[in-house]
Amino acid sequence: MINVSKITRIIETNNTNNVICRSLELRPNVLGSFISGLANSEGGYIFIGIELQNNNYTFNNFISTFKYDDILSSISTRLEPKIEVSYQLICIETNRLLAICVDKSETPVSYDSEYYIYGHNDVILINKEDINYKPTVFISYASPDAAIVDIVESSIRKSLKEKVSISRFTELHYKDSFKAFMNTIQDHDYVLCFVTYSYLRSRACMYEVGEVIKDHRYSDRLLFVVLNEKDRCYYGDNAPEIIEAGVYDPQKRADFILYWKTEYDKLDKKIKEIGDYEATRDLSTILNEIGNVYRNDISKFMEFIADENGKNFCTLKENDFADIIARIKITKEICRK
């Protein structure tokens, strides 16, 4: 049965996790693909008569005279295997919507012999064998921000359970190579960055950024959380002195470029003072890395962050990081395209 109270809470809190909404959509082939996609994911809801605008639900009022019973009955005959789908016309104050509830299926569900999986407010056509593909996520962050990372990682694991593989440097064992771990970043489907003052001044983090943006499709793989001073309460007793990076402020972005240019000049001066190539071979490698940071990597990264329609930590937390989770919950075909 439809849980009206639960649906009301979802709409009131603008919770978009595992929800597909449309102002009007009664075409059987489209609704059938939605049902297949949700059944092959974690289950969820289809709302007809409501749409999503700037991550807020807006009612359009479903016309109750539509013969949705016949349409949904027709759809059920083309689902394989047959699954139970609950639906109900619901009134919330003066607004009407058709709510369709789809449970998660233990076996892949097709509609007209096609398989789908849920993506943010939509579904994606996939191969049957890719339904259980486990996306991989590399978490890139500075040590002072570990408390924030723990909160986000916990939400991702709670939602996706065994459906995701997450890597972060805390998994390294004694004498494991940190550089070798960072070099695995290209092997992951997604990179989740926590953008803070500490992050943009960390050489390890900037090395990871450089590895990410080498990939021409990095904009599809790169997820991020921007922290500010309002998030200090989530750090506990170990909050860094400065949290906010200020990547939306051109002056502050220039300050980070200048910081890395200064670090380059200081190391370059010391290498020249030593004057021995063999003795400074490793330092010269580091110098080249820092040069790449201030000449290209950090500027390109900050421009990407500033230009994207990202959200800060508190906003993302309101919906339990559903926007990030929805981006991760896609298939091998999309991850590797």
Q: What CATH number does residue 152 fall under? A: 3.40.50
Give tens-digit pLDDT for 105-143: 989 999 999 999 888 788 988 888 777 778 889 999 999
Burial 242-261 (b: 16+ CB within 10 A, else e): ebbbbbeeeeebeebbeebe
Q: Please give the pLDDT value at position 178.
A: 53
| pTM higher than the cut 0.75 | no
Asked if residue 71 has pLDDT above 60, the reply is yes
Q: Answer yes or no: are the C-beta atoms of 38 and 20 closer than 8 Å.
A: yes
Q: Please give the pLDDT value at position 181.
A: 60
Q: Please give the pLDDT value at position 336.
A: 46
- 147 shares a domain with 281: yes
Report d(CA 98, CA 251) in Å as an integer.
50
Give tens-digit pLDDT for 265-312: 999 999 999 988 788 888 999 999 999 999 999 999 999 998 886 778
Give the rounded percent of residues in the chain with a pLDDT score beyond 90.
50
- 107 shares a domain with 83: yes
Q: Please give the pLDDT value at position 250.
A: 93
- 120 shares a domain with 85: yes
pLDDT band, residue 95 (cuts 50/70/90): confident
Backbone region of residue 80 per phi and psi (left: phi > 0; alpha: psi in -120 to 50; beta: other values): beta
Question: End of a domain among 130, 149, 165?
Answer: 130
Mutual angle of helices 298-307 and 203-213, in 10-degree steps: 70
Residues with Cβ within 8 Å of 61's Cβ and at least 6 positions away in sequence, in order, are 49, 95, 96, 97
- The CA distances from residue 27 to 24, 46, 70, 172, 223, in Å, are 9, 13, 12, 51, 34
- 143 shares a domain with 161: yes
34: domain CATH number is 3.30.950.30
Question: End of a domain among 130, 160, 179?
Answer: 130
Q: How confident is the prediction for the chain on average, in pLDDT?
A: 87
- 267 shares a domain with 172: yes
Asked if residue 38 has pLDDT above 90, the reply is yes
- 218 shares a domain with 148: yes
Q: Hey, how many other C-beta atoms are within 10 angstroms of the C-beta on 141?
A: 26
Nearest to 221 by CA among 100, 63, 327: 327
- 251 shares a domain with 167: yes
- 92 shares a domain with 43: yes
- 42 shares a domain with 87: yes
Report d(CA 85, CA 173) in Å as an integer.
47
Q: What is the C-alpha end-to-end distance of the chain, expressed in Å?
A: 39
Report d(CA 332, CA 129) in Å as an integer.
10
pLDDT band, residue 333 (cuts 50/70/90): very low
Structurally, how many domains does the chain consist of?
2
- 196 shares a domain with 106: no
Averaged pLDDT, 209-220? 84
Averaged pLDDT, 245-250? 92
Report d(CA 159, CA 325) in Å as an integer.
8
Asked if residue 9 has pLDDT above 80, the reply is yes
Question: End of a domain among 100, 130, 160?
Answer: 130
Q: Please give the pLDDT value at position 87.
A: 92
- 217 shares a domain with 118: no
- 182 shares a domain with 91: no
Domain assignment of residue 28, given as a range: 4-130
